[in-house]
């Protein structure tokens, strides 16, 4: 990967650089440490963890394409838009991983840029979709993440609206959602909101629906006004959803406080026995056939 043309003067970047290693591979290009720190302030703590005199940071092997996108964004302050002639499924998956990376460091601009690409990819004719993308997103984001909201809707649209009922069966759907309690919870919430099982393709949604914004926490504002402490800490919040509320993207305490429920029973109770998808699935079970979860 060649470094993009700089939009920032080199004289302002200093001489310290950081290299990235992915397993046994070293990314040929480096990034100016000051630029990385300025673009992703939350990454500063990661940089501090490097031993004195070391300028090498290690990531999992499957993160190389994501970090290359990150470096391009750091230097150009922009990323390519989705294009039906050049955007591939791998590009889409890389943006999902980049979104998760940005959410980890609460970088709103990069999250929203990644979301714009994902919606643009969805709007292309017949884009390939893979269940593993949803699994990755749920493993690397917190509850109330707009990315989870988008991908769970995408998953449900694939299963309930596709014409290929021979591959996208209830068996495959059950296997997919049972793998993650949070995904199952979101799917059940969608079902309760749309009891007729009529799930529109989220590609018709505006990207702004899934954008996040920085807003001041009102409780923090009150406490700080009483104690005259440092300026209000900003927190990442999701946009308004259908219930008119705002949810803290990283409110783990609320997530942990959610009541447990019988996932299998809840899933079974949510379907109508007359559903064509269910009937087709039962035939598949009797014949010993199982469907592919992620058809190409």
Please give the radius of gyration of the chain, using alpha carbons only, rounded to the nearest integer: 22
Domain range for 130:
79-286
Tokens describing residue 83:
């294009």
List, for residues 130-151, the tens digit of each pLDDT value. 888 898 999 999 998 999 999 9
3-class SS string, 104-166:
HCCCHHHHHHHHHHHHHHHCCCCCCCCHHHHHHHHHCCCCCCHHHHHHHHHHHHHHHHCCCCC
Residue 143 lies in a domain: yes
Distance, CA of 67 to CA of 46 (rounded, Å) = 14
Lowest-pLDDT choice from 6-10, 21-25, 71-75, 284-288: 284-288
Lowest-pLDDT choice from 6-15, 33-42, 139-148: 6-15
- What's the confidence (pLDDT) of residue 97? 96
- What's the confidence (pLDDT) of residue 93? 94
List, for residues 232-261, the tens digit of each pLDDT value. 444 444 444 444 444 444 444 444 444 554
Q: Which long-range contacts (CB under 8 A, 24 or more apart) does 205-209 make?
A: 205/119, 205/150, 206/119, 207/112, 207/115, 207/116, 207/119, 208/239, 209/146, 209/239
Tokens describing residue 288:
């010993």
Alpha carbon dihedral 218, 220, 223, 229, in 10-degree steps, equals -130
H/E stretch holding 18: strand 17-22
Contact 60, 107 (CB under 8 A): no
7: pLDDT strictly greater than 90: no
Residue 251 CB contacts under 8 Å (≥ 6 apart), including other chains: 142, 143, 144
Side-chain-side CA neighbours of 65 within 13 Å: the count stands at 12
Residue 129 lies in a domain: yes
- What's the confidence (pLDDT) of residue 174? 79
- What's the confidence (pLDDT) of residue 279? 36
Alpha carbon dihedral 205, 206, 209, 210, in 10-degree steps, equals 90
Residue 276 lies in a domain: yes
Among 17, 252, 237, 236, which residue's Cα sits nearest to residue 105?
236
88: pLDDT strictly greater than 70: yes
Residue 158 lies in a domain: yes
99: pLDDT strictly greater than 90: yes
Tokens describing residue 69:
């996108």
Neighbouring C-beta atoms of residue 58, cutoff 10 Å = 12
Number of domains comprising the chain: 1
Among 110, 104, 98, 97, which residue's Cα sits nearest to residue 136?
97
Residue 253 lies in a domain: yes
Distance, CA of 14 to CA of 58 (rounded, Å) = 22
209 in helix, strand or coil?
helix
Tokens 């899934």 correspond to 210
Residue 211 lies in a domain: yes
Residue 267 lies in a domain: yes
Distance, CA of 143 to CA of 146 (rounded, Å) = 9
List, for residues 178-207, the tens digit of each pLDDT value. 888 999 999 888 888 765 656 778 888 888
Residue 213 lies in a domain: yes
Neighbouring C-beta atoms of residue 292, cutoff 10 Å = 12
User: Which percentage of the chain shows pLDDT scores above 70?
Assistant: 64
294 or 223, which is more confident = 223
- Distances in Å between the Cα of 261 and the Cα atoms of 28, 135, 185, 201, 217 are 49, 21, 9, 28, 31
- What's the confidence (pLDDT) of residue 264? 55
Contact 71, 31 (CB under 8 A): yes
């Amino acid at each position: 990967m060649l470094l993009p043309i700089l939009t920032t003067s080199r004289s302002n970047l200093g001489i310290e650089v950081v290299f990235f290693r992915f397993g046994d591979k070293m990314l040929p290009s480096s990034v100016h440490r000051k630029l990385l720190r300025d673009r992703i302030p939350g990454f500063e703590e990661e940089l501090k963890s490097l031993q004195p005199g070391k300028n090498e940071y290690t990531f999992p092997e499957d993160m190389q394409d994501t970090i290359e996108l990150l470096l391009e964004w750091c230097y150009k302050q922009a990323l390519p838009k989705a294009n039906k002639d050049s955007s591939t499924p791998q590009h889409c998956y890389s943006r999902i991983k980049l979104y998760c990376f940005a959410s980890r460091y609460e970088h709103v601009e990069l999250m929203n840029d990644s979301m714009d690409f994902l919606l643009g990819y969805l709007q292309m004719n017949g884009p390939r979709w893979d269940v593993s993308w949803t699994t990755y997103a749920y493993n690397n984001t917190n509850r109330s993440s707009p990315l989870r909201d988008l991908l769970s809707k995408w998953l449900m649209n694939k299963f309930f609206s596709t014409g290929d009922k021979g591959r996208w069966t209830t068996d495959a759907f059950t296997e997919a959602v049972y793998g993650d309690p949070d995904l199952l919870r979101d799917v059940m919430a969608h079902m309760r909101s749309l009891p007729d099982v009529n799930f529109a393709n989220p590609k018709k949604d505006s990207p702004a629906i899934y954008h996040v914004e920085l807003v001041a926490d009102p409780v923090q504002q009150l406490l700080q006004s009483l104690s005259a402490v440092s300026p209000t800490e900003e927190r990442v919040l999701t946009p308004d959803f259908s219930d008119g509320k705002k949810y803290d993207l990283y409110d783990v305490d609320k997530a942990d406080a959610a009541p447990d429920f019988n996932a299998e029973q809840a899933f079974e109770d949510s379907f109508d026995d007359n559903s064509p998808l269910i009937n087709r699935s039962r035939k598949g079970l009797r014949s010993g056939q199982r469907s592919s979860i992620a058809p190409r």
